[in-house]
Structure 1
C-alpha cells in the first residue's frame, strides 16, 4: 500500500532543505555584495555628506568613490534598518575595507572627522583666528569678519558695550583644548567657545562677581590685563591688586599690554611714540579700564581679578626672567629700576 503520509513528510523535508540552502545562499550573496569592496588593498577616502542629502544622494556619492558595489544596496539597507532620517551631515573617513552596514553606523552615530586645537590663556581673537585658520578650512579673515559682527546669545551679552571694542566677544572665548568637527563654521566655533566660558563660570564665581563693585565685563577686562602681564602664577593676585589699587585711586593704569593690543603687529619693545596713540585702549592716556578685555583670560586670572592681593602696591616693572618688582611709591619704583641698571 502506497504511504502518502510518508511521501508528504519526505517532500516537506526536501522543500525545507531547499529553502534552507536558498536562505544560506541569499545571506552569503547579500553579505558579499554589502560587505567590504576590498579586504586586501584597503583605500581610505574623506567623504563630505552635505546637509539635507538624501540616502539616494549619499549612496551615489559612495558609489562614485568606489566604496560600495551599487547604490541600490546602500538605499535598501538604510530602509531596512529604518534610519533614512538619521544619516548625519559632516566629513567622514570611510574605506574600501568597511561594509555598508559599518558605513551606515558611522553616518548615524555622527563619527565625523575632527581636529584638535588648543587655545592658550591670553590669546586674542586675532591670535585664535590665526591658529584656527591653519586647521579649520577657513581663513583668518573669515573668522575675524564673523568675530567683528557676532554678539552670541548668552546671558551676559546685555552688559557688553560694543561701541569702542575691536571684537564684541573678546574675553569670552574660553581658552581650552577643543575637538572640532571638520567643516564647522566660524560662527559655531565662537559659540562653542562662549558656551565653554559659561560652563566654566560656575555659580561660586558668579556670586563673587555680584558681590564685587565691578560688573562681569569689567572683571573679565581686569583678568585679561592680569593674563597679559603675568608669567608666574604666584604674581597673578599681586598684579590684580595693583590694578585694583590704581583704579581706586583714579590713577592711569599705564599697562603696556593695552598698547600692544592696538598696534597692528606685536613689538618686542614699546616706544614712547606708541604711548601717544589715540585709542580708548591706551591706558597711558585714558583713565579707568579699557573698553573691554584685551585677550581671553583663563580661570586663574579671573579668580585673581575677583580676589586681588591686599597690598599697597601701586607700581611694578618686569625683570628679565618675566617676574616683577613691586613698590608702593613712585620714588621706590625709580630706585629699584636704577638699582638694577648699575
Structure 2
C-alpha cells in the first residue's frame, strides 16, 4: 500500500475455519492464538488512528486478517465489525475488509458484511486446480471459488484473491492456469504467496518424510514474475507478493524450508526490471557495452539497479558493463524504462513491463 493508504490490521485466528490446510499454522502467521474482543478491536483502531497523519487524501482501512472471518459465528462477526463500522460511520476510517474461504460465502454472510459497511472481501483461493486443492487439504473446489466470486461482485463489494504457488501437486503450468482463471473473474486486487514449510504443520511432516519438496527461491521468483506480469497486463493490482516478515515468519523462526526472503517482492520486481533492460539492449542491437545509461521513474530506481545491486552485477557479468547509470525521470510512468545511451551513443527506446512476455 502507498503512504496515502493506511491499514489498521485486526488478526482473527482460525476459530471458524472448518479445515486445517497442510501449510497452515495461523498462530505463526498472525502471531496470536486468541480472538480479540470487541474492546480490543476498538483499542487497536484507536491506537492506530493516533499514529496516522491527519492530512487530506489519506485512506484509512480496518482489515480483518487471518483465519476465515465468515466462518465464525455471526454474532461474533457482528461484535468484531461493530467498532470498525462505528469508525466508518464517523468518518474516522474509509474502508473495511475481511478475508475468508470461498465455501464460507453465501447471500446471508454477504448481507451481514454489507450491513456493517464491508467494502472488500478477499478470498483465500490458493489454486484453481482441484487436485492441488485436495492434496493441500483445502476442503473446497474451484467451483466454490467461481460461485463465491460471482456472489461478492453481485453485492457490489470489491473482490480480492489470494493465491499460493508451490503447493503439493502444483506446477508452474497450474499456477499460470490459476492466474488465468482468477483474471477471468475480474478481481480488484490479488496477493501472491509462495508456499513455505512452517513448524507444526502437516506440510512439515510431509517435508520431513521426503513427500514434499518446496520450490527454491529462484523458481519462486521466476514463477511470481510471470504471474505479476499476467495480473498487471490485465489491469489487476497485485498488492502483496510473499508473506510479511515477523518474529515467527523468518528463517531463524518458524520457517523450516521454502522460498522465504524478507524482500521477496523486490526480488520479483528486480527480475522483471532485468528483463526490461535486456529488451532495451536487444532493441538497440547491443550485446556488450561498457556504459549504459537508463532513465527510470524515481520509485523504480532500486529494482532497476537490483536488490543489493544484483542487476548491476548481472549486466557486468553477462554484458561487460562497468558503468550502469540510472537517471531519475519523473516524466516516465512507473514500470517504464528508457535507454538513454550506450557507450556514448544516444538512443530513446522505452520498454514497459507490459511489453515483457509472461
Task: Name the structure, 1 or 2, with higher relative contact order (CA <8 Å, separation 6+).
Answer: 1
**TM-score, normalised with respect to structure 2:** 0.23
Query: Larger Rg: 1 or 2?
Result: 1
Which structure carries more strand by proportion? 2
